[in-house]
C-alpha cells in the first residue's frame, strides 16, 4: 500500500514538474518550403544560376542535336557504305558520344556545385532571419510544420519570415 501511494506521488510530482516546465516553453512553427519559394533571394539566385549556365546548356543541346543528326545520316547511308567506311563512321559516332558525355558530366558537376553554393547562401540567410525572429518573439523552439500533425496558427512565423526576407537589403 505504501509503495502504491509513493508511486502515485512520484508520478504526480513528475507530471506537475513537467507541466511547469512546459508552460515556460514557447514553440513556433514555420512552413520552410513556403518561405524558400517566397523568398526573393531564392528567385534571384535561380535566375542568376540559369543565366550563368544558359550558354553551356545551349551548347549541350546543340551537341545532342548534332549527334542525333550524325546517327540519322549514318543510318540512312549505312547500306551504301563499305566495311571500312562503316567502321570509320561508327568510330566518329563513338567519339562524338564520348565528347557529349564528357560535356554533360562537366555541365552537371559545375551546375550542381554552383547551385549547392547558391542555395547554402540563401538558406543561411533564411536561417538567420528565423533565429532573429525566434529571439525577438522569445521562442524556445521552431519546428517545420511538416513534422507535426497540428499547430495553432498563432504559433506560425512563416509570414513574418517572408516579410523580413522581402525587405530591401536582406
Give the pTM: 0.69
How far from chain centre, in Å, is Cα 62? 28
Residue 145: HSE in the Cβ half-sphere, 13 Å Cα cutoff: 16
Separation of alpha carbons 84 and 104, rounded Å? 30
pLDDT at 19: 52
User: For residue 61, what pLDDT is reported?
Assistant: 95
pLDDT for res 7: 47
Sign of CA dihedral 48, 53, 58, 61: negative
Q: Distance from first CA to last CA of the chain, Å, rounded?
A: 65
Cα 116-117-121 angle, rounded to 5 deg = 115
Res 9: pLDDT:
47
Domains of the chain (ranges; CATH) run 2-166 (3.30.910.20)
Give residue 103's pLDDT: 96
All three cell numbers of 116: 549547392
Choose among 115, 119, 125, 131: nearest CA to 167: 125
Instruction: Residue 142: name the closest of 10, 60, 32, 65 by CA.
Output: 32
pLDDT tens series, the chain, 170 aa: 555 544 454 465 455 545 545 557 889 999 999 999 999 999 999 999 999 999 999 999 999 999 999 999 989 888 888 999 989 999 999 999 999 999 999 999 999 999 999 999 999 999 999 999 999 999 999 999 988 888 888 889 999 999 999 988 76
Amino acid at each position: 500500500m505504501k509503495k502504491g501511494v509513493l508511486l502515485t506521488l512520484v508520478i504526480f510530482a513528475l507530471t506537475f514538474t513537467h507541466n511547469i516546465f512546459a508552460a515556460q516553453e514557447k514553440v513556433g512553427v514555420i512552413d520552410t518550403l513556403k518561405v524558400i519559394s517566397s523568398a526573393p533571394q531564392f528567385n534571384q539566385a535561380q535566375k542568376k544560376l540559369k543565366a550563368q549556365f544558359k550558354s553551356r546548356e545551349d551548347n549541350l543541346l546543340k551537341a545532342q542535336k548534332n549527334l542525333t543528326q550524325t546517327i540519322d545520316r549514318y543510318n540512312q547511308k549505312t547500306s551504301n557504305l563499305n566495311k571500312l567506311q562503316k567502321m570509320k563512321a561508327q568510330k566518329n559516332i563513338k567519339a562524338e558520344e564520348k565528347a557529349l558525355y564528357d560535356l554533360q558530366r562537366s555541365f552537371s558537376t559545375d551546375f550542381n556545385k554552383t547551385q549547392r553554393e547558391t542555395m547554402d547562401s540563401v538558406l543561411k540567410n533564411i536561417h538567420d532571419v528565423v533565429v532573429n525572429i525566434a529571439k525577438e518573439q522569445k521562442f524556445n523552439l521552431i519546428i517545420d510544420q511538416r513534422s507535426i500533425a497540428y499547430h495553432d496558427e498563432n504559433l506560425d512565423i512563416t509570414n513574418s519570415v517572408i516579410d523580413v526576407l522581402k525587405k530591401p537589403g536582406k
